[in-house]
Amino acid sequence: MSKLLEEFQDYLSKMNQYEHVTTLLYWDMKTGAPKLGQAGHVEALTHFSTEAFALSTSEKLGEMLAGLAKPEEFDALTDTWKFIVTRMKRDFDRDKRIPADVYAAFVQTQAEAGNVWVEAKEKSDFSLFAPYLQKMIDLTVEITGYTDPGMEVYDALLDQYEEGMDSATIDGLFEDLKKELIPFVKEILLRQKPENQAFKGCFDTNGQKSVQDMLLDYIGFRKDAGSVGESEHPFTLNFSSKDVRLTNHYYEHDPISAIFSAIHEGGHAIFEQNVNPEYDNTVAGSCRYMGLHESQSRFYENILGRNYNFWLPVYDTLGELLPPFQAISLDDFYREINHVKNSFIRVNADEVTYCFHIILRYEMEKAIFRDHVPVNDLPALWNRKMQEYLLITPANDAEGILQDMHWSDGGFGYFPSYLLGSIYDGMLLDTLQEELGDVDELLKSGKIGEITAWLNRKIHRYGSTRKPKDAIMAVCGKEISAEPLIRYFKKKYTKLYQI
């Protein structure tokens, strides 16, 4: 190993110590720290984040990356280290172009906009949030001009979350979904069943936690390399493949929520636990492509978890751990977890109408960045699109445009990742069945471990080393298409709703 590479690795390990501490502080703030202790944590987090930022933008790092990129050093690197150096050099050069005062203004506006968004949502008053949204949009456009000069702004934003994806590709995929799903959902809704009151009862939250543990274990989440906490909104984070944390939130009168959040976050966590450990603590590890990440959480949650056969081997155990389920048949449970209905809130939507929630947000973002629609006109545009796709109009902005925190955080371009994840899932399901056999049969006979092992082998172990398009091509041998997802929806819901 060259002296320069050795020096570089030492530097990376120092950067990791900061990352480790900031991750731990964040975890504790969200899961354990009391209200009065939050301020102290914020102070510590700011200190360590600033130090970490200084390390990741230092002249020294720039010199090392430039040195390692020279042919005499680069050619001697292993493929993994070639990837790490190339990726870090690209990110370093890109971040370096952002003027420090612009970056500081962005971080500050992010914090302010986040707080104002919470208040605006509580009061359901978009006018409070509008000036901050405008600032976030302006800063995002300015920063993109530095990071991706010459690139169309919205395409650059999409690329940040799902590298290699652009709006021309996404337009094609989403148009196919719209064309097929708008009339199909109308057919489903004509056969709408009334709400099942059995799920409105009282479900002990300790029992829900036992169910969660049973399910995580069942799908392949490893407890020696992960743990579970409780937070307001479920999320997953990781230190390395050996320490992956997820959270859940339990509602006494809604057991379905925690069950499916556990399976969803479990999917994210299983991905992280199975990345090649050689990539730990480098940019090759922990998957940074949001669509590919969502494809794994949503594969477990929807493709597997909302399949009737998934529950056959474990439904009796569910009843033992959470006794009210003993009075609910598996048929009724299956119908409830696949109840298609037009609703206002994205995170509560079923897997079919969820597509419309994302298409709507994608079109809103294009209206912002491409058509420059004034911020004050956005709530009305949102409501028109809700009516167009979901045939309902929000009574107020809290259940409309103010429901998600993404834009307050500057996360423009993130939303399409969720639906891209489902589109990849349709393709992965096809290939999985070609290679392992019928998924219903595998699930019925409790062979979910074979499915997890297949995903480990095909997707998880690569971490961030393959871009999503390349990963799907390598596994499925095809360009990305929405057709398999549409076919999956039609087969499943035609049977369920007897269309």
Binding site for Zn ion (CB under 5 A): 297
Q: Indicate the residue among 266 and 285 with the shorter CB distance to Zn ion.
A: 266
Q: Indicate the residue among 68 and 471 with the shorter CB distance to Zn ion.
A: 471
CB of 170 to Zn ion, least distance (A): 18
Q: Indicate the residue among 180 and 351 with the shorter CB distance to Zn ion.
A: 351
CB of 57 to Zn ion, least distance (A): 29
CB of 369 to Zn ion, least distance (A): 24
CB of 11 to Zn ion, least distance (A): 32
Close Cβ partners of 401 (under 8 Å, ≥ 6 residues apart): 126, 364, 378, 379, 382, 394
CA–CA separation, 367 and 362 (whole Å):
9
From the list 150, 149, 109, the residue with the least C-alpha distance to 132 is: 109
Structure tokens at 297: 């959480």
Amino acid letter for position 230: E
Q: Indicate the residue among 140 and 247 with the shorter CB distance to Zn ion.
A: 247
CB of 248 to Zn ion, least distance (A): 13
β-pair type (226-230, 236-240): unpaired
Residue 229's beta-bridge partner residues?
247
CB of 263 to Zn ion, least distance (A): 11
From the list 273, 384, 381, 259, the residue with the least C-alpha distance to 324 is: 259
From 19, 73, 180, 265, active-site residue: 265
Q: Indicate the residue among 22 and 297 with the shorter CB distance to Zn ion.
A: 297
Structure tokens at 35: 């209200």
CB of 424 to Zn ion, least distance (A): 13
Q: Indicate the residue among 282 and 297 with the shorter CB distance to Zn ion.
A: 297
Q: In three state form, how does the secondary structure of the chain look?
A: CCHHHHHHHHHHHHHHHHHHHHHHHHHHHHHCCCHHHHHHHHHHHHHHHHHHHHHHCCHHHHHHHHHHHCHHHHCCCCHHHHHHHHHHHHHHHHHHCCCHHHHHHHHHHHHHHHHHHHHHHHHCCHHHHHHHHHHHHHHHHHHHHHHCCCCCHHHHHHHHHCCCCCHHHHHHHHHHHHHHHHHHHHHHHHCCCCCCHHHHCCCCHHHHHHHHHHHHHHHCCCHHHEEEEECCCCCEEEEECCEEEEEECCECCEHHHHHHHHHHHHHHHHHHHCCCHHHCCCCCCCCCCHHHHHHHHHHHHHHHCCCHHHHCCCHHHHHHHCHHHHHCCHHHHHHHHCCCCCCCCHHHCCCCCHHHHHHHHHHHHHHHHCCCCCHHHHHHHHHHHHHHHHCCCCCCCCCCCCCCCHHHHCCCCCCHHHHHHHHHHHHHHHHHHHHHCCHHHHHHCCCHHHHHHHHHHHCHHHCCCCCHHHHHHHHHCCCCCCHHHHHHHHHHHHHHCCC
Q: Indicate the residue among 297 and 464 with the shorter CB distance to Zn ion.
A: 297
Structure tokens at 23: 């991750």
Q: Indicate the residue among 289 and 369 with the shorter CB distance to Zn ion.
A: 289
Q: Are 294 and 421 in contact (CB under 8 A)?
A: yes
CB of 294 to Zn ion, least distance (A): 5
Say whether 265 is catalytic: yes
Q: Indicate the residue among 297 and 403 with the shorter CB distance to Zn ion.
A: 297
CB of 236 to Zn ion, least distance (A): 7
Active site residues: 265
